[in-house]
Structure 1
Amino acid sequence: MFPAADLPDTIAVFPLPGALLLPRARLPLHIFEPRYLAMLDDTLKTSHRLIGMVQPMETPGRTEKRLHRIGCAGRVTGFSETEDGRYMITLAGISRFRIENEVAGFSPYIRADVSWAGFERDTGAAEKDSGFDRSALMALLKRYFTAQDLRTDWEALREAEDELLINSLSMLCPFENEDKQALLEAPSLRTRRETLVTLIEFALRSGGHEEEVMQ
């Protein structure tokens, strides 16, 4: 468990569309762009080893990149270097944050002053969802995975703890970037699960599978 008192005021920010990280979850990443290789090198020199994952905002007609204000910081817990100088790393989700402002300077990557206020639950114990109907979710998932031509380890899903299951599905399902952001910003595990179910049902309906939702 990462002590909340050790959360820094400024972190490196990695804007990666579709890459969702949640507290107490793990996200593998392939780092190869020079600016993000520099970001990783600098991060590994810090005591906290935190990188903030953030979704870029969809702004049609605008050339400048805007970021969502809420992201999730992950601690580099493992990395390996390839022969050509790239890195495979794993981030362990620590806490969500809110970007206060981007730090001006000559860094090739984005650094931001952040606030951790309002996300104190993220650094605590795993959340519970008292209203979770696992059998109903599993039935819905089977229809969704069939429609999307996805494969998974169903036994592992059935045995996973509530938070691990809901967060893993939120991170791995092929939702739109704004949908991923909605899952990130869900205030509780229950609201994240409700959002997840809504997104799956919408995907089935929009894909012409209305009858599969109703079954």
Structure 2
Amino acid sequence: MQVPLFPLNSIVLPRGRIPLQLFEPRYIDMLTRCLKEDSGFVVVLLRDGTETSQFAPFHDVGTYVRIVDFQQLDNGLLGITVEGESKVAIGRCWRAPDGLNFGEVDVLKAEVNPGVPDVLSELPVVLKALLKHPVINDLEMTVDFEDAREVGWRLTELLPLDKQEKQKLVELQDPIERLERLHALLEALE
């Protein structure tokens, strides 16, 4: 599958939502194309650099997303909300003449849902508290707090972690391993 890539200093995972502001012509054209073709694009974390850089390197695992809402913002920019569908591995990449990145992507195997183990039962409690924040609440995400994948995905998105640590969590395919790592990171934050 060949899709546009949207390198960011943020992540989103399956069933998660993230608001984006579009102002660069290359991304407005991408949005138009995605809406017209009912297709999505891949949000991928930058290794370093800024989101407006023409040549910022990015990681090779991201999330295929679809646009679920868009509107003109008070600041005059176009605002969209995207929702993650599946994690993808990015293979060969290239840059179009307008500066938009494209890549060949393979959808990663879906993670299994073993449920949240009792020993990690405090993690859904932490997530429930985070979801009460007004900005997060406005995203209208539904979360199954017994689903180890969803609890780990949302905590990975929402906790104030180093972006390289977030990427390691994104790349994990074992939901329990991700929860254990998050638990250890939360203990270190305390």
* TM-score of the superposed pair, with normalisation by structure 1: 0.69
State the distance in 2 between where 1:57 and 1:46 align: 30
Structure 2 unaligned regions, length at least 5:
138-142
Q: Say whether residues 1:74 and 2:65 are aligned partners.
A: yes
Coordinate RMSD, CA, aligned: 3.2
Matched positions, count: 177
Structure 1 unaligned regions, length at least 5:
1-8, 143-149, 205-215
Of the candidates 124, 144, 153, which is equivalent to residue 132 of structure 2? 153
**Secondary structure class of the residue paired with 1:121:** coil
Of the candidates 16, 26, 32, which is equivalent to residue 17 of structure 2? 26
Of the candidates 50, 56, 62, which is equivalent to residue 40 of structure 2? 50
Aligned pairs for 1:76-155 within 5 A: 76-82=67-73, 85-116=76-107, 119-121=108-110, 127-137=113-123, 141=126, 153=132
Q: Deviation at 1:201?
A: 2.0
Q: Deviation at 1:187?
A: 0.8
Asked if the contact 1:54–1:67 (Cα under 8 Å) also holds between the matched residues in 2, the reply is: yes
State the distance in 2 between where 1:24 and 1:65 align: 27
1:189 partner letter = P
Asked if the contact 1:132–1:190 (Cα under 8 Å) also holds between the matched residues in 2, the reply is: no
**Secondary structure class of the residue paired with 2:165:** helix
Query: What is the percent sequence identity of the aligned residues?
Result: 26
Range 72-81 or range 130-139, more displaced: 130-139
Range 160-169 or range 74-83, more displaced: 160-169
State the distance in 2 between where 1:42 and 1:50 align: 9
Equivalent position of 2:155 in the other structure = 169
Asked if the contact 2:17–2:83 (Cα under 8 Å) also holds between the matched residues in 1, the reply is: yes
State the distance in 2 between where 1:138 and 1:82 align: 33
Asked if the contact 1:37–1:86 (Cα under 8 Å) also holds between the matched residues in 2, the reply is: no
State the distance in 1 between where 2:179 and 2:121 align: 13
Question: Which stretches of structure 1, 4 residues or longer, exceed 4 Å deviation after superposition?
Answer: none
Of the candidates 173, 176, 184, which is equivalent to residue 187 of structure 1? 173
Change (3 A) 1:115 1:164: closer
Asked if the contact 2:62–2:89 (Cα under 8 Å) also holds between the matched residues in 1, the reply is: yes
Larger % of strand: which?
Answer: 2
> Which of structures 1 and 2 has the bigger CA Rg?
1
2:167 partner letter = Q
Asked if the contact 2:16–2:83 (Cα under 8 Å) also holds between the matched residues in 1, the reply is: yes
Q: Deviation at 1:110?
A: 0.8
State the distance in 2 between where 1:197 and 1:130 align: 12
Of the candidates 202, 205, 210, which is equivalent to residue 188 of structure 2? 202
Asked if the contact 1:77–1:91 (Cα under 8 Å) also holds between the matched residues in 2, the reply is: yes
**Secondary structure class of the residue paired with 1:197:** helix
Q: Say whether residues 1:12 and 2:12 are aligned partners.
A: no
* TM-score of the superposed pair, with normalisation by structure 2: 0.77
Q: Deviation at 1:22?
A: 0.9
2:179 partner letter = R
